[in-house]
Amino acid sequence: MTAEQFVFVVAALITLGSAVGMVTSRSVFVGALWMIAVFGGVAALFILVGAGFLGIVQILIYIGAIAVLILFAIMLTPRVMGDPNAPRYNRQWPLVAVMTTGLAAVLTVLVLRTDWPLAQEGTPVITGFAVELGKGFMTTYILPFEVASVLLLVALIGAIVIAREE
Amino acid sequence: MQALDRLFISIGRAFNSFLSQFLPPTAVTVIGMFLSAIIISTFAALVFMFLTWLERKFVGRMQDRIGPNRVGPFGLLQPIADAIKMFTKELITPEGAHKVAYNLAPILAVAPVMMFFAVIPFGRDMVAADLDVGVLYLVALSSATEVAILMAGWASRNKFALLGAMRAVAQMLSYEVPLVLILLALVLMAGSMQLTELVAAQGVPFALLQPVAFLIFIVAAAAELNRTPFDIPEAESELVAGYHTEYGGMKFGLFMMAEFIAAFGMACLVTTVFLGGWRPWIIPLPSWLWFLIKAFAVLFVFIWFRGTFPRLRIDQLQAFCWKFLVPVTLLNVIVTGVVVTFFPIVRDGQIVVQGAGGWAVTTVVYFATSVVFGLIIAWLYRRPTQQALRQIEVGRPAARGLSQEVQAA
Amino acid sequence: MKPYAVIGAFFVVGLILPLVTVIGATLLSPRKPNPIKGDIYECGLKTVGETWVQFKIQYYIYALIFVIFDIEVVFLYPWAVAYNRLELFALVEMLIFAGILLAGLLYAWRKGALSWV
């Protein structure tokens, strides 16, 4: 097993383990902390693929901005912060268990059967990722770039309208 | 001089060849990586200890008192006394605190600031990890410290800690935007996010090419570090001790360490992107010595701020950020973009400014643009500035018509 | 890949160094817990009420606006590093992008979303 494979296994285990922890945690705040660990694991996976820029952006945006936003939301709603003794299961759990197991089985079969296009052995990792991205933004993908700014504007206005109405 | 400059590189290389004699190359690389991490982290910790002494001495002198002078000559062993105190103080965990998060928070606060120094070029060819997205990586690390602060505030089960944590994080979030936008302008000028490229592109230090951005960056950096005049989150009279109220002994020491090392890291960043990094200025000294001199000069400016300015209120500091700094830095990016189009420093990845004449022209153009930009901004914001100055005037005892004796008191 | 490996090493060392320090401190420090010491600090009085923050939406709004601007900045960084290899049109494209977001900031300003009231 090469070093890269080893790091991949570790990163994957961290991501999956944290995801499980996030879903099964008793308090919402701890769940949010597990979520941050998931983001960190995903960032490591991005870096392993060679998209270092995206990995750093993952940490910057997801951990630095979105996770903080979610933590703020959790801290500002007292009832959510509260009751660790609330019931964790309701009466529909057998049906849900069957459905999720079925879904997991379908997905597993799908993933194993698909003919994924793999990179050839020895394909060089992209260097200068951010530069290529920038060039792409300005030439081929200029429309999505500008639409993204409009999207951000809409998000900003929408958030302010909703937040100010209370 | 050449030998002195490459001192650390030679030591590293000698050590590497020594190890290669009886270890496979992979093991040598891995050991080398961890060793450089340990050495740089220890260096940062030592700087932290020295910095605590430096700050108390300088602020003391600015406040017309002596500062620590009992322990060792000039109080230089004071940090050691502080360290011994930290190690032997009882670690009181408040009841009902979330054990894991409470204990993890100080460690998670220190880890990102240690990682800061991985990409900083301390001297010629002396960078641990020459990342091609270096600048963005540093910004991402500052974002990561906010999570540790929120953890600390929540896990303490203390109202003041929670409030202090939220205020500290709100402040750090807000001031990251102007910080990142100014770095964007610099990256635009240098054509790369790689810190070594940024140093290479500074034939003339960027502080001269963009003086307004330099000043704004120092201010925003002080706010990002939760230092005076932006230290509302840890002001004693405001929120007890903010997010580290319930932390005692070494855990509190770790938060202090995180803060001071972050200050040193930010000073290193300012040195690298604004002051030309390890590039010597006139006097020929080893490159790493120049770097340290410049970094400590920036730290001195931060300490100077602490000894001079009163604190800003939270609403003042947020308004200052969002209503002044963000629009100004955004406009700065646009202006820099325009200037770079006609007077590029880098083109297609190569530096295109030739010789002293070329650099002189570049400097004059950029400096003049920056000054004009600064004057336009000052004019646009003249009314709020006059209002603020009037408020300071009104606060003075003479202006309020108080008697002479009260004024003298 | 090499630089990221070094960063990984720094991360590990950055976690272990404080961990060792805290363990050292736990070994060296006295441990005499009593209920008064363990109480939450509230200026010398007993804690009143549950521990949650007064609902002040301004914190959330600042974080929200920060997310928007953070994403904008992430779009601008590739532009900045690629700019020296592109022509003038790239400047115009960025002006449109930044202009739209500046308009958003002005909207937020006028609606009072930026004031800590």
Q: What pLDDT, on a 0 to 100 scale, did the predictor assign at position C76?
A: 92
Can you give the pLDDT of all 117 residues of chain C as single tens digits? 788 889 999 999 999 999 998 888 888 777 777 766 666 666 555 555 555 556 678 888 899 999 999 999 999 999 999 888 888 888 888 999 999 999 999 998 888 888 875
| Closest-approach residue (CA) in chain C for A66 | C67
Asked if the C-beta of C88 comes within 8 angstroms of chain B's C-beta atoms, the answer is yes
Most trustworthy range by pLDDT among B325-334, B348-357, C39-48: B325-334
Q: In the structure, what pLDDT confidence band is assigned to residue B314 with cuts at 50, 70 and 90?
A: confident
DSSP state of B126: -
Work out the minimum CA distance from B166 to partner chain A, whole angstroms.
8
Q: Are B116 and B271 in contact (CB under 8 A)?
A: no
Residue B274 has pLDDT above 90, yes or no: yes
| Closest-approach residue (CA) in chain C for B240 | C43
Q: What pLDDT, on a 0 to 100 scale, did the predictor assign at position B312?
A: 81
Backbone angles phi, psi at A128, to 5 degrees: 65, 45
- 3-class DSSP state of C36: helix
Residue intervals of chain A classified under CATH 1.20.120.1200 are: 1-83
Q: Are B76 and B53 in contact (CB under 8 A)?
A: yes
Distant-in-sequence, close-in-space partners of B30: CB < 8 Å, separation ≥ 6: C9
**Distance between CA B182 and CA B373 in Å, rounded?**
14
Mean pLDDT to the nearest integer, A80-87: 58
Q: Are B157 and B94 in contact (CB under 8 A)?
A: yes
Which amino acid appears at position B74 of this protein? F
Mutate to test the interface with A, among C52, C56, C106, C114 (most CBs of A within 10 A): C52
The per-residue pLDDT for range A106-164, each reduced to its tens digit, is 999 999 998 888 777 777 766 778 888 888 888 888 899 999 999 999 999 998 888 77
Show me where the domains of chain B are located. Answer: 7-88, 94-408
% chain B with pLDDT above 70: 92
Chain CA centroid to CA A133, Å:
21
Show me where the domains of chain C are located. Answer: 2-110
Q: Both tokens of residue B69?
A: 């002078």
Q: Both tokens of residue B365?
A: 């153009």
**Distance between CA B255 and CA B242 in Å, rounded?**
12
Residue B391 has pLDDT above 80, yes or no: no
Mean pLDDT to the nearest integer, B178-199: 92
Contact B330 C101 (CB under 8 A): yes
**Distance between CA C17 and CA B121 in Å, rounded?**
22
Superfamily for domain range C2-110: NADH:ubiquinone/plastoquinone oxidoreductase, chain 3 (1.20.58.1610)
Contact B337 C7 (CB under 8 A): no
- 3-class DSSP state of B402: coil
Other Cβ atoms within 10 Å of B313 Cβ, number: 11
C2-28 and B25-62 helices, crossing angle to 10°: 60
The per-residue pLDDT for range A7-46, each reduced to its tens digit, is 899 999 999 999 999 988 888 888 999 999 999 999 999 9
Which chain B residues have a beta carbon less than 8 Å from that of C42? 158-160
Work out the minimum CA distance from B307 to partner chain A, whole angstroms.
31
Q: What pLDDT, on a 0 to 100 scale, did the predictor assign at position A65?
A: 93
Q: In the structure, what pLDDT confidence band is assigned to residue B357 with cuts at 50, 70 and 90?
A: confident
Q: What pLDDT, on a 0 to 100 scale, did the predictor assign at position B375?
A: 92
Which amino acid appears at position A48 of this protein? L
Mean pLDDT to the nearest integer, B119-137: 88
Q: Are C24 and C16 in contact (CB under 8 A)?
A: no
Asked if the C-beta of C109 comes within 8 angstroms of chain A's C-beta atoms, the answer is no
The per-residue pLDDT for range B54-113, each reduced to its tens digit, is 888 888 888 888 877 777 777 788 888 888 888 887 777 777 677 888 888 889 999 999
Q: What pLDDT, on a 0 to 100 scale, did the predictor assign at position B56?
A: 86
Chain CA centroid to CA B317, Å:
18
Mutate to test the interface with A, among C7, C51, C77 (most CBs of A within 10 A): C77
**Distance between CA A115 and CA A113 in Å, rounded?**
6
Asked if the C-beta of A78 comes within 8 angstroms of chain C's C-beta atoms, the answer is yes
Contacting chains of C (3 CB pairs or more, <8 Å) are A, B
**Distance between CA A33 and CA C19 in Å, rounded?**
19
Q: Are C82 and A131 in contact (CB under 8 A)?
A: yes
Query: Tokens 């300003």 appear where?
Result: C109
Contact B170 C62 (CB under 8 A): yes
Which chain C residues have a beta carbon less than 8 Å from that of A130? 77-78, 81-82
Q: State how far the alpha carbon of C74 is from the alpha carbons of A42, B146, B215, in Å.
A: 18, 19, 24
**Distance between CA B93 and CA B98 in Å, rounded?**
9
Q: In the structure, what pLDDT confidence band is assigned to residue A85 with cuts at 50, 70 and 90?
A: low
Residue B308 has pLDDT above 90, yes or no: no
Contacting chains of A (3 CB pairs or more, <8 Å) are B, C
Mutate to test the interface with C, among A14, A46, A76, A142 (most CBs of C within 10 A): A76
Query: Tokens 């972050």 appear where?
Result: B262
**Distance between CA B221 and CA B266 in Å, rounded?**
7
Q: In the structure, what pLDDT confidence band is assigned to residue B406 with cuts at 50, 70 and 90?
A: low
Q: What pLDDT, on a 0 to 100 scale, did the predictor assign at position C15?
A: 92
Concatenate the DSSP letters of all residues of A5-31 into one string: HHHHHHHHHHHHHHHHHHHH-SSHHHH
Query: Tokens 């979520």 appear where?
Result: A35
Q: State how far the alpha carbon of A118 is from the alpha carbons of A5, A112, B243, B278, B362, in Å.
A: 16, 14, 49, 44, 49
Mean pLDDT to the nearest integer, B364-375: 92
Mean pLDDT to the nearest integer, B30-36: 88
The per-residue pLDDT for range B203-253, each reduced to its tens digit, is 889 999 999 999 999 999 998 888 877 776 666 555 556 677 777 778 888
Burial of C112 (0-12, 13-18, 19+ CB in 10 A): exposed
Other Cβ atoms within 10 Å of C4 Cβ, number: 20
Work out the minimum CA distance from B30 to partner chain A, whole angstroms.
11
Q: In the structure, what pLDDT confidence band is assigned to residue B165 with cuts at 50, 70 and 90?
A: confident
Residue B291 has pLDDT above 80, yes or no: yes
Q: What pLDDT, on a 0 to 100 scale, did the predictor assign at position B295?
A: 94
Q: In the structure, what pLDDT confidence band is assigned to residue B372 with cuts at 50, 70 and 90?
A: very high
Which chain C residues have a beta carbon less than 8 Å from that of A153? 100-101, 103-104
CATH topology of domain A1-83: Four Helix Bundle (Hemerythrin (Met), subunit A) (1.20.120)
Q: What pLDDT, on a 0 to 100 scale, did the predictor assign at position B407?
A: 54
Residue A165 has pLDDT above 70, yes or no: no
Q: What pLDDT, on a 0 to 100 scale, did the predictor assign at position C53?
A: 56
Which amino acid appears at position B223 of this protein? A
Q: Which of A57, A68, A130 sits opposite B169 (nearest CB)?
A: A68
Asked if the C-beta of C1 comes within 8 angstroms of chain A's C-beta atoms, the answer is yes
**Distance between CA A21 and CA A38 in Å, rounded?**
10
Interface of C with A in 41-60 (CB under 8 A): 50, 52-53, 55-57, 59-60
Which amino acid appears at position A1 of this protein? M
Residue B405 has pLDDT above 60, yes or no: no
Q: What pLDDT, on a 0 to 100 scale, did the predictor assign at position A43?
A: 94
What's the mean per-residue pLDDT of chain B?
85
Q: Both tokens of residue B74?
A: 């000039």
Contact A63 B137 (CB under 8 A): no
